Structure 1
Amino acid sequence: MKPEEKIRQGYIDYILEHNHPPKSVYALCKSIKMKEDAFYEHYTSVNVIESDIWKSFFEETINRIEQEEVYSTYTVREKVVAFYYTWIEELKSNRSFILTVYQAKKERGIRLEDFKVLKAFKQSFQDYMTNLVNEGLESGEIAERPYITAQYSKALWVQTLTILRFWIKDHSKGFEKTDIYIEKVANLGFDLMGKTALDSAFDLMKFAFQNRMQ
């Protein structure tokens, strides 16, 4: 296990055992039997670890899906759905930790949308989705719309938070309801981003306007 992984896992274990984050680097290092100077080679404080944990969930998800040979053959819609399914699978192994920190923040009146620890994950996610959106624009899966296209990755982030919130509250066997929710939410998102009758009508009016004098 790499030092960063040891620190992240130690942080998770500490929260599960004490029901609160370690109050100091010393407390965490003592629990994982690591010298403080070794800790500071990887993190500046305990406050940044949780943010890195969420980012690591994302990075591991990407690693897993990109290792699948069929992934490169997927449509953009299929890639997004595959991401969500795999991401939830990644979160399952840390559900107790996620529920603990979620409940603690909720009791302090902090909404999921305002979790500062999600900031690094959000940036990496939006960068990834921006690439997929561009791929979708090239393939025609996603419609180019003035002023709106640039907001697609932000909309997908909001969608991601709704999936996370649903999964946190899901008590169905094997979280099967979350799987259904992912499919329905992702399909709705791509139906909205895809070309519709309104886009076709706009294209027709634009063409007619441009050629009205000919």
Structure 2
Amino acid sequence: MAAKNKVISKEDIVSIYMNEVLEKGEKPKSVYHFAKDKDFTEAEFYTFFGTLEGLEKEIFRLFFVNTINLLHQNTDYLEYDMKNKMLSFYFTFFEILTANRSYVLQSLKIDRNPLKNLTQLTALRDSFKEYVSEILTDDYRLEVEKLQKFQEKAIQESAWLQLMLTIKFWKDDASAAFEKTDIFIEKSVNASFELMNVAPMNHLIDLGKFLFKEKIYSKQ
């Protein structure tokens, strides 16, 4: 038997897994079944992934990583404000999803329990929330420092919910070139940044501080 010369890479295993899911319409029952008849061993699989579930999560995280890499190839991107960075992220991310649409649709409907399907997105969720935190600027931060941490978490969670709603819209979009998804992205991102306008909230906080001080001093 000829010795095996090819060294399997992480990217090779990801590609083989995605093709396997598409061709068979279901995910492999185990790592053993996945590696069987493929050009790698179980040991090689475990070099990169602990479980099949870990591999599934990594696929969606790689969609995110590839998006960020593409964004940073545009030298103008770093000069964008937060809203335009988010718009750029959305359009690029959904281009990547569209390029892998068959796999995404198949993988998100394999299990009858929708929550189990969504577990594939947990690594994507963590990476996206970190991204939102990184691009958050002072324009959208409350002036009161004690409230900023709570506010940041709220923005991260609402941004994640918006991304999930956009994925749902994209999955159901039957328009040519998914043009309705592009419209949805632009309108929803614009609306979300309108809601993030902190100026009115800062004014309310200032008013509250004023009234609190007036109440304290009036008792003296």
Q: TM-score, normalised by structure 2?
A: 0.84
1:116 alignment counterpart: 119
1:161 alignment counterpart: 164
How far 1:46 sits from its partner (Å)? 1.9
**Worse overlay, 88-97 or 2-11:** 2-11
- Paired residues of 2:8 and 2:40 also in contact (CA < 8 A): no
1:4 alignment counterpart: 10
Question: Cα gap change, 1:2/1:200 in structure 2, threshold over 3 Å: closer, same or farther?
Answer: farther
Question: Cα gap change, 1:40/1:197 in structure 2, threshold over 3 Å: closer, same or farther?
Answer: closer
Is the counterpart of residue 176 in structure 1 residue 179 in structure 2?
yes
In structure 1, stretches of 5+ residues that fail to align are none
- Paired residues of 2:31 and 2:52 also in contact (CA < 8 A): yes
Counterpart code for 1:90: I
Is the counterpart of residue 40 in structure 1 residue 43 in structure 2?
no
Question: Cα gap change, 1:150/1:144 in structure 2, threshold over 3 Å: closer, same or farther?
Answer: farther
1:81 alignment counterpart: 87
How far 1:204 sits from its partner (Å)? 4.7
In 2, the alpha carbon distance for the partners of 1:131 and 1:173 equals: 34
Alignment partner of 2:77 out of 56, 71, 79: 71
1:50 alignment counterpart: 56
How far 1:198 sits from its partner (Å)? 5.3
2:97 alignment counterpart: 91
- Paired residues of 1:7 and 1:32 also in contact (CA < 8 A): no
- Paired residues of 2:143 and 2:202 also in contact (CA < 8 A): no
Larger Rg: 2
Q: Which runs of 4+ in 1 moved over 6 A?
A: none
Identity %: 32
2:109 alignment counterpart: 103
How far 1:141 sits from its partner (Å)? 4.2
Cα-to-partner distance string for 1:11-64 (whole Å, 9 max, x where unaligned): 110010000011122332235411222221111222221111011111111111
Counterpart code for 1:11: Y
In 2, the alpha carbon distance for the partners of 1:211 and 1:72 equals: 45
How far 1:132 sits from its partner (Å)? 1.6
Counterpart code for 1:121: L
Counterpart code for 1:151: A
Cα-to-partner distance string for 1:162-195 (whole Å, 9 max, x where unaligned): 0100000001011000001001111111111113
In structure 2, stretches of 5+ residues that fail to align are 1-6
Q: TM-score, normalised by structure 1?
A: 0.86
**Worse overlay, 49-58 or 31-40:** 31-40
- Paired residues of 1:143 and 1:193 also in contact (CA < 8 A): no
In 2, the alpha carbon distance for the partners of 1:76 and 1:30 equals: 47
2:128 alignment counterpart: 125
- Cα RMSD (Å) of the superposition? 2.4
1:21 alignment counterpart: 27
Counterpart code for 1:53: I
Cα-to-partner distance string for 1:109-142 (whole Å, 9 max, x where unaligned): 4158x71111111111111111222xx2x2x245
